């Protein structure tokens, strides 16, 4: 379990979770990594921990470079358990280490663990700490995506330890993004943003602006998950993508999401898709029978139009549709135009529950569209007309 040097005297000492396939309902088919970093200097500094069950692997990597008794600082950028799970063990191995975090981080650590005897240095945005030839600058980023979140910048190396920002749930032999197919890394970064940071676009924009106001010249971004972005081209690519995603701007695309029992709602979904295509609008269609909700949400980042279809079951939303709209509502996409549609057997009105969620999100909508049993040609023509109304909003 050897550490890997990413800059002179700065090492990756994290772990790779090859078997992870789900994270809070978010599908992670490529696993994930929990990145921890070690800075060798006059005051040796460890950046973040890992999940508790992978602690021994991380500890071995640190020991391949130095002894825990020599560590002066432990920077805690985030207290969620995939970052902090083994911090109690770290503090047993390095009781002399001072924890650097923000006020919210200290409170979260004390809520999670027995912190008796732990010493803290509480930091705020713009504060600097010298550890020898390196200096650390801190930037608090509350609600990106927890209240305690912050980032740490090493000025001399133009290196940003970005916490959850710019990360990907991706386990690979590659340590750097350019060592892996870059389009796949970007796709995983997009999925990560869509499923974790989507509700916090304003906070992401603020973080980008704060980095600019602090004059941070960034040539490497080392996130807590996935590959490291190295070099100006890669760094600018991901920074520009985050600026775009955080803005809420779309590319005029449409997304149709549905489930179906006997094919009626599926037929409606196909008709809606065809109408968008005939109008020259790029469209993707997702059936919840076969797709995870997190796969669907990636397309919401770029979409202008959202159409969600439900097959009524026991006068309620179909379970997979109900689960999806709950998941989607929590991620709070902005600036969408939407249609709720569906089928029923003996009692209409259930799609109004989807319409209500649209309204709560502040989206522009047209009247929901429902069909009894299998839609006939006349009904499908009416449905096309409803989609035309949506396009004209």
Verify whether residue 24 is a known catalytic residue.
yes
Catalytic residue (choose from 17, 41, 48, 82): 82
Contacts of 381 (CB under 8 A, 6+ apart): none
Q: Please say whether the beta carbons of 164 and 78 come within 8 A.
A: yes
Q: Is 9 a catalytic residue?
A: no
pLDDT at 210 over 90: no
- Check pLDDT > 80 for residue 320: yes
Is residue 145 part of the annotated active site? The answer reads yes
For the stretch 257-278, pLDDT in tens is 999 999 999 999 999 999 999 9
β 44-47/26-27 pair status? unpaired
| All domains in the chain, ordered by first residue | 4-247 (3.60.15.10), 254-392 (3.40.50.360)
User: Would you place residue 125 in the very low, low, confident or very high pLDDT band (cuts 50, 70, 90)?
Assistant: very high
pLDDT the model gives residue 306: 98
CB 192 within 8 A of CB 245: no
Of 26, 225, 286, 302, catalytic: 225
Which residue(s) pair with 5 in the sheet?
11
- What are the residues whose beta carbons fall under 8 Å from the beta carbon of 70, sequence distance 6 or more? 44
Binned at pLDDT 50, 70 and 90, residue 170 comes out as very high
Residue 200 is a catalytic residue: no
Question: What percent of the chain lies above the pLDDT cut of 70?
Answer: 100
- Closest to 65 in 3D by CA, of 92, 94, 44: 44
Residue 149 CA neighbour count, 13 Å, CB half: 20
User: Is-catalytic flag, 192?
Assistant: yes
pTM: 0.93
Catalytic residue among 11, 41, 48, 78: 78
Catalytic residue, from 145, 148, 258, 370: name it.
145
- The yes-or-no answer on residue 112 being catalytic is no
């Amino acid at each position: 379990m050897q550490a890997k040097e990413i800059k002179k005297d700065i090492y990756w000492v994290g772990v790779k979770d090859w078997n992870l396939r789900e994270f809070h309902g978010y599908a992670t088919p490529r696993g994930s990594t929990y990145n921890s970093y070690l800075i060798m200097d006059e005051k040796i500094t460890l950046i973040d921990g890992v999940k508790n069950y992978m602690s021994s692997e991380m500890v071995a990597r640190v020991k391949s470079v130095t002894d825990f008794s020599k560590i002066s600082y432990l920077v805690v950028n985030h207290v969620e358990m995939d970052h902090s799970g083994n911090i109690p063990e770290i503090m047993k191995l390095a009781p002399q280490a001072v924890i650097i975090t923000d006020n919210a981080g200290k409170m979260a650590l004390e809520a999670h663990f027995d912190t008796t005897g732990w010493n803290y240095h509480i930091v705020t945005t713009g504060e600097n700490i010298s550890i020898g030839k390196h200096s650390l600058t801190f930037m608090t980023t509350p609600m990106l995506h927890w209240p305690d979140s912050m980032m740490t910048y090493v000025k001399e190396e133009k290196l940003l330890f970005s916490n959850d920002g710019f990360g990907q749930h991706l386990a690979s032999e590659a340590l750097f993004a350019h060592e892996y197919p870059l389009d796949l890394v970007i796709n995983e970064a997009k999925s990560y943003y869509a499923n974790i940071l989507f509700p916090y676009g304003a906070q992401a924009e603020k973080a980008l602006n704060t980095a600019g106001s602090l004059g941070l010249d960034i040539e490497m971004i080392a996130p807590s998950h996935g590959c490291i972005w190295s070099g100006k081209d890669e760094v600018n690519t991901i920074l520009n993508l985050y600026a775009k995603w955080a803005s809420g701007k779309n590319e005029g695309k449409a997304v149709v999401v549905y489930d179906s029992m006997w094919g009626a709602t599926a037929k409606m979904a196909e008709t809606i898709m065809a109408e968008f295509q005939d109008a020259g609008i790029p469209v993707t269609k997702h059936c919840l029978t076969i797709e995870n909700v997190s796969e669907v949400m990636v397309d919401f980042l770029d979409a202008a139009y959202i159409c969600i279809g439900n097959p009524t079951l026991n006068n309620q939303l179909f379970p997979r549709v109900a689960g999806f709209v709950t998941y989607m509502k929590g991620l709070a996409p902005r600036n969408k135009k939407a249609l709720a549609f569906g089928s029923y057997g003996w009692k209409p009105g259930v799609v109004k529950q989807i319409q209500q969620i649209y309204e709560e999100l502040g989206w522009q909508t047209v009247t929901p569209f429902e069909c009894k049993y299998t839609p006939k040609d006349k009904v499908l023509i009416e449905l096309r007309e409803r989609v035309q109304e949506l396009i004209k909003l």
